[in-house]
Amino acid sequence: MKQSKKRHGISRRRVIAGFAAMTLIPTPAVWAQSGSTAGTHRKVSSFRVAQWQDHFETLKNGAILSDTQSKVLQYWSEDQSVYRLYPSSVPLTEDLTRLGYTTIIRKVEGPSWRPTPAMKERNPAWPDYVGPGPENPLGTHALYLSWQYYRIHGTNDTRKIGRRSSNGCIGLYNEQIAELFELATVGTQVKLI
């Protein structure tokens, strides 16, 4: 038996060393990703969870933190009994991204959508108006921010979530914006980072 193991170059020591190496060296699936990826688009995302104390002085009226790098939105209730974390879509480019503090000034279930003048200039083919319903880019619910044209809203295109895909707004899955809509109030503080 020892003869046949040696003939094929297999020994107990080599098997153990092979398993040890597998835990230290990336798997072939990872190696395959580093090869040529011509024509392949990959989503790269970093993920970090923030603490509300790092961004807000208090939780009066609750707080929403939208991280445009991690593409997540976090919500804390005023009494800290409710915390939610949602994946989100964020603005396409830096020039469309507004950062800083704002508040929710209005809540609309079944919002209508009108492209901003800048959006219409970029894409004249967009309709002037889309009423509530399944084709509405704002989805089922919208939280209007104190910044003109900026919203936290649902989406009719779930492929946008987790990507840079909006014209300035923060998008959530319709089920999740419905939940946030119930949790947040007019006056909830919002920060985009």
- pTM exceeding 0.85: no
- What confidence tens digit (pLDDT) does each residue in 38-88 have? 554 555 555 678 899 999 999 999 999 999 999 999 999 999 999 999 999
Query: Which residues are annotated as catalytic?
Result: 153, 169
**pLDDT-based confidence at 36, cuts 50/70/90?**
very low
- What confidence tens digit (pLDDT) does each residue in 87-101 have? 999 988 888 889 999
User: Which helix (H) or strand (E) segment is 117 a member of?
Assistant: helix 117-122
Amino acid letter for position 178: A
Sequence-separated (6 or more) residues with CB below 8 Å from residue 84: 74, 75, 176, 179, 180, 183
CA–CA gap between residue 180 and residue 118 (Å, rounded):
28
SS3 50: coil
Lookup: tokens for 60: 């009066």
Give the residue carrying structure tokens 């098997």.
Answer: 15
